[in-house]
């Protein structure tokens, strides 16, 4: 039985006949698979010809791994063998590997072969082709070939190309984002804006905030606001979350807590109507450019649910069953970007990253058991534990956390408790007063909340712009 250590040792001696024997197509399949899978980095001068007979092995996994190992050598002398494999291969994994190996050569000779595979039926093969071709994107034939893909039915291919076009135009215009990712405008820090959030958002500059956690009004289930129709309600939320997208920094998170609601029946002759808010708002969010990341389910104890079982409990007749709802959705989205999360993390200094680590026990599943909270003034507050998890998982110390529908301001004091800043917006004077009261007595900070009207906020930004 070959170990990784044996393999590494043998790689140091390229003249030995070890690999010639071990990679012979007549070897048993499991030994070949294990060796091909564990070869790791190949030393310069490794005899790649040993893989060529394996490209026609009966086992598709062996063909795939052989192609992968040829790819590591990045040598254009294998172009013909790999092109042949890509053209005849039925197994899509092996075909992908052959195309990837051709792309890795970065050889002009490979361009026409790659272009041929742009029409492959497997979108992942096409993505591999794209990767290989983008290296030669200045060549006119490559540009023409890529242009034909803008209408491709696969969303990942279209996205990849759109990013490429975006980056290219940014390069041409010499646009370099010089905004400092960890910082946010001072007039927004630890502020409660007493206003309709639709108006407040118009004043906030783009890419100002790091995280949004919010629970919007639940259609007409409570009386904060009455909407003319469910469509009008969804349109209202869409406008707010589109603006939230604009003011969010690149690649940062938006977490939305909602649940289906019941609008009660108007008489015994009518039935009540249940609206599936999380499901109806989701496609609108992804259209805006929020990328879906996670669906967390917040579970409350049974006693917290409104009893919908009364009738069924008595009559037990089918079709009349109604589940008592003990869950709410906590949907996690990220502002779509071609940058990886690592890029976001790298924008912070080591000290901040270290200080923001989520230490100790934490919930590893998407089922979060948290008791609901109550407040003597506001009827529907976040449990601080729920807000604390979101703030700790999705922001760094010093970040600006936004809640457009702030109510009693739970997101505010949780943000402060975890050394973040907050920006809250609430239109109801009684709730603004409550939020201010709760934030004022918070012992963990000297940072007093500042309540601002729209006019205050506008003039602070005007002054700031004047001084810049």
Ligand X SMILES: C[S@@+](CC[C@H](N)C(=O)[O-])C[C@H]1O[C@@H](n2cnc3c(N)ncnc32)[C@H](O)[C@@H]1O
- Residue numbers of the site for ligand X (CB under 6 A)? 196-198, 215, 217, 224-225, 378, 380-382, 405-408, 410, 425-428, 431
User: Which residues are CB-neighbours of 25 under 8 A, at least 6 positions away?
Assistant: 32, 53, 54, 57
**Minimum distance between the CB of residue 233 and ligand X, rounded to whole angstroms?**
10
What DSSP string runs through 37-104? Answer: HT--SPPTT--GGGGGGGGG-SSHHHHHHHHHHHHHH--GGGHHHHHHHHHH---HHHHHHHHHHHHH
Helix, strand counts (H, E) of the chain = 20, 11
Cβ at position 42, least distance to ligand X in Å: 56
C-beta closer to ligand X: residue 73 or 240 = 240
Q: Is 252 or 427 the residue whose CB approaches ligand X more closely? A: 427
Q: Which is nearer to ligand X, 120 or 426 (CB)?
A: 426
For CA atoms 359, 390, 202, 424, the dihedral sign is negative
Answer for the pair 126, 148: CB distance below 8 angstroms, yes or no: no
- Nearest residue to the partner ligand X, using Cβ: 407
Nearer to ligand X, 357 or 376 (CB): 376
CB closer to ligand X out of 348 and 405: 405
Q: DSSP letters along 283-351, please?
A: HHHHHHTEEEEEEEEEE--GGGSPP--HHHHHH--TT-------EEEEEEEEE--SS-HHHHHHTS-HH
Pair 2, 38: CB distance under 8 Å: yes
**H or E segment at 111?**
helix 111-116
CB of 298 to ligand X, least distance (A): 12
Q: Which is nearer to ligand X, 33 or 380 (CB)?
A: 380
Q: Give me the least distance between CB of 464 and ligand X, in Å please.
A: 23
* Paired tokens of 133: 């071709």
> Whose Cβ is closer to ligand X: residue 142's or residue 200's?
200
- 264 within 8 A of 255, measured Cβ to Cβ: no
| In the complex, least distance from residue 448 CB atom to ligand X, rounded to whole angstroms | 19
Nearest approach, Cβ of residue 274 and ligand X (Å): 18
Residue 409 Cβ, how far from ligand X at the closest point, in Å? 6
Nearest approach in angstroms of CB 225 to ligand X is 5
Q: List the one residue out of 402, 350, 23, 408 whose CA is nearest residue 241.
A: 402
Considering the complex, state which of residue 22 and residue 192 has its C-beta at the smaller distance from ligand X.
192
Min CB(400)–ligand X separation in Å: 17
Nearer to ligand X by C-beta: 149 or 381? 381
Q: Could you tell me the CA-to-CA distances from 91 to 56, 154, 268 in Å, in that order?
A: 12, 20, 61
CB of 240 to ligand X, least distance (A): 8
The minimum distance between CB 279 and ligand X, in angstroms, equals 18
CA 1 vs CA 34, 112, 152: distances in Å: 9, 43, 47
Q: Is-contact 133 115, C-beta < 8 A?
A: yes
Give the C-alpha separation, 346 to 59, whole Å.
Answer: 43
3-state class (DSSP) for residue 252: strand
**Closer of 197 and 285 to ligand X (Cβ):** 197
Give least dist CB 259 to ligand X, A: 11
- Which one, of 431, 352, 360, lies nearest residue 389 by Cα? 360
Nearer to ligand X, 190 or 410 (CB): 410
| Beta bridge mates, 213 | 255
d(CA 130, CA 145): 10
Nearer of residues 198 and 445 to ligand X, judged by Cβ: 198
């Amino acid at each position: 039985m070959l170990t990784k250590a044996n393999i590494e040792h043998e790689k140091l001696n390229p003249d030995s006949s070890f690999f010639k024997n071990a990679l012979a197509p007549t070897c048993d399949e499991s030994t070949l698979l294990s060796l091909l899978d564990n070869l790791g980095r190949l030393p310069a001068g490794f005899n790649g010809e040993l893989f060529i007979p394996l490209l026609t092995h009966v086992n598709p996994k062996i063909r795939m791994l052989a192609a992968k190992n040829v790819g590591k050598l990045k040598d254009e002398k294998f172009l013909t063998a790999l092109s042949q494999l890509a053209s005849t291969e039925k197994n899509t994994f092996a075909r992908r590997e052959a195309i990837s190996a051709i792309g890795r050569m970065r050889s002009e000779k490979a361009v026409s072969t790659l272009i041929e595979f742009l029409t492959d039926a497997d979108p992942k093969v096409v993505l591999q082709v794209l990767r290989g071709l983008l290296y030669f994107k200045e060549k006119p034939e490559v540009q023409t070939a890529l242009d034909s893909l803008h209408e491709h039915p696969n969303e990942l291919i279209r996205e990849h190309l759109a990013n490429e076009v975006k980056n290219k135009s940014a390069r041409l215009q010499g646009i370099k984002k010089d905004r400092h990712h960890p910082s946010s405008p001072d007039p927004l820090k630890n502020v409660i804006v007493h206003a309709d959030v639709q108006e407040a958002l118009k004043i906030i500059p783009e890419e100002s905030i790091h995280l949004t956690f919010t629970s919007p009004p639940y259609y007409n289930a409570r009386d904060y606001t009455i909407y003319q129709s469910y469509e009008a309600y969804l349109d209202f939320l869409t406008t707010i979350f589109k603006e939230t997208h604009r003011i969010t920094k690149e690649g940062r998170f938006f977490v939305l807590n909602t649940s289906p609601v019941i609008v009660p029946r108007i008489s015994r002759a009518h039935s009540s109507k249940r609206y599936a808010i999380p499901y109806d708002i989701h496609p609108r969010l992804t259209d805006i450019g929020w990328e879906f990341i996670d669906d967390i389910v917040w579970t409350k104890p049974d006693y917290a649910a409104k009893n919908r079982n009364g009738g069924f409990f008595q009559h037990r007749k089918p079709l009349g069953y109604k589940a008592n709802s003990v869950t709410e959705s906590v949907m996690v989205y990220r502002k779509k970007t071609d940058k990886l999360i690592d890029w976001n993390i790298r924008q912070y200094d080591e000290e901040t990253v270290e200080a923001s680590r989520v230490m100790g026990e934490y919930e590893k599943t998407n089922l979060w058991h948290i008791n609901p909270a109550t407040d003597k003034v506001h009827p529907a507050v976040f449990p601080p534990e729920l807000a604390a998890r979101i703030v700790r998982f999705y922001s760094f110390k010093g970040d600006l956390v936004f809640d457009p529908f702030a109510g009693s301001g739970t997101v505010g004091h949780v943000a402060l408790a975890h050394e973040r800043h907050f920006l809250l917006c609430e239109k109801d004077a009684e709730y603004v007063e409550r939020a201010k009261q709760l934030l004022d007595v918070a012992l963990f900070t000297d940072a007093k909340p500042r309540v601002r009207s729209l006019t205050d906020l506008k003039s602070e930004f005007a002054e700031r712009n004047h001084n810049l």
